[in-house]
């Protein structure tokens, strides 16, 4: 496995956020991000506080009805002493299901898991626009590599401090920042099925990370699953194709 200098990378990431906010945010007054209570949003929140100050960071909790672990989200905000809002997306979620299904279109369980992330991003951008804030991304590279993320949902943001870190590297940064260990090591869930990401995928992020870094996987079946998911989800990672007319060439 590659060497990861967590102290150096953490400091460099904080400086990168500071530079981006000062020079490329378009004069934004702060950053808004969704707080799930998991490692990614917890680590990004902490990095933002270090880079631009806690008074410029707004966390938004967005349960879809009842969120069993919402106290974890609140703990993140309390621990970092950042302001937060709670926006329940249940009515909007049910409204979309009702409207689409009224047209005799059956929405599968898989599709249902992607609707809440897209609604949450709508909420974040609505708040960001009104406050002249920017939306911070909270997705890591391991999730993106195998497509365990939602296009135009949690993949939509103005900048992302951890987008090129694997899950193991994000955890290491969380520990370096002194964040609550149970939140940093909390297994991610999709929020609807009650299963972890790894349960749904059929392999661990440790296997994904090893394959990313070395191209190796001891289990051939899992290796094929990782490769298949990566190839199938490249459309999420690649730039959107746009036709160029002759006048632009």
Residue 68 to residues 91, 192, 204, Cα–Cα distance (Å) = 18, 11, 24
2 pLDDT band, cuts 50/70/90, is: confident
Give the residue carrying structure tokens 């370096």.
176
Residue 139 has pLDDT above 60, yes or no: yes
**Domains of the chain, first to last:** 6-187 (3.40.50.620)
With H, G, I as helix, E, B as strand and everything else as coil, classify residue 243. coil
Mean pLDDT, residues 178-186 taken together: 95
Task: Name the percent of the chain lying above pLDDT 70.
Answer: 98
Mean pLDDT, residues 181-202 taken together: 82
Residue 185 has pLDDT above 60, yes or no: yes
214 pLDDT band, cuts 50/70/90, is: very high
H or E element, residue 212: helix 205-214
- Mean pLDDT, the chain, whole residue set: 94
What tens digit of pLDDT does each residue of 113-128 get? 999 999 999 999 999 9
User: Regarding beta strands 57-61 and 133-135, do their DSSP bridges make them parallel or antiparallel, or are they unpaired?
Assistant: unpaired
CA–CA distance, 69 with 124 (Å, rounded to integer): 20
Q: Which of 76, 11, 72, 68 is nearest to 43 (CA)?
A: 76
With H, G, I as helix, E, B as strand and everything else as coil, classify residue 50. helix
Task: Name the percent of the chain lying above pLDDT 90.
Answer: 90
> What pLDDT is attached to residue 1?
54
Q: How far is CA 190 from the centre of its chain?
A: 11
Q: pTM here?
A: 0.94
């Amino acid at each position: 496995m590659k060497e990861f200098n967590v102290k150096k990378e953490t400091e460099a990431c904080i400086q990168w956020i500071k530079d981006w906010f000062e020079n490329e945010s378009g004069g934004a007054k702060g950053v808004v991000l969704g707080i799930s209570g998991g490692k990614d949003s917890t680590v990004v929140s902490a990095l933002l506080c270090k880079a631009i100050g806690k008074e410029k960071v707004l966390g938004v909790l967005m349960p879809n009805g009842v969120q069993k672990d919402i106290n974890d989200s609140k703990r993140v905000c309390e621990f970092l002493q950042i302001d937060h809002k709670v926006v329940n997306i249940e009515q909007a979620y049910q409204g979309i299901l009702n409207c689409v299904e009224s047209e005799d279109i059956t929405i599968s369980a898989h599709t249902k898991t992607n609707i809440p992330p897209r609604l949450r991003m709508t909420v974040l951008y609505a708040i960001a626009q009104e406050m002249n804030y920017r939306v911070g991304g909270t997705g890591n590279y391991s999730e993106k590599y195998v497509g365990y993320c939602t296009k135009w949902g949690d993949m939509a943001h103005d900048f992302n401090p951890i987008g090129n870190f694997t899950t193991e590297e994000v955890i290491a940064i969380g520990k370096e920042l002194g964040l609550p260990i149970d939140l940093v090591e909390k297994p991610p869930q999709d929020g609807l099925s009650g299963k972890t990401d790894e349960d749904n995928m059929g392999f661990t992020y440790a296997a994904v990370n090893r394959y990313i870094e070395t191209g190796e996987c001891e289990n051939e079946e899992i290796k094929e699953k990782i490769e298949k998911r990566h190839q199938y989800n490249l459309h999420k990672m690649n730039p959107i194709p746009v036709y160029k007319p002759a006048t632009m060439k």
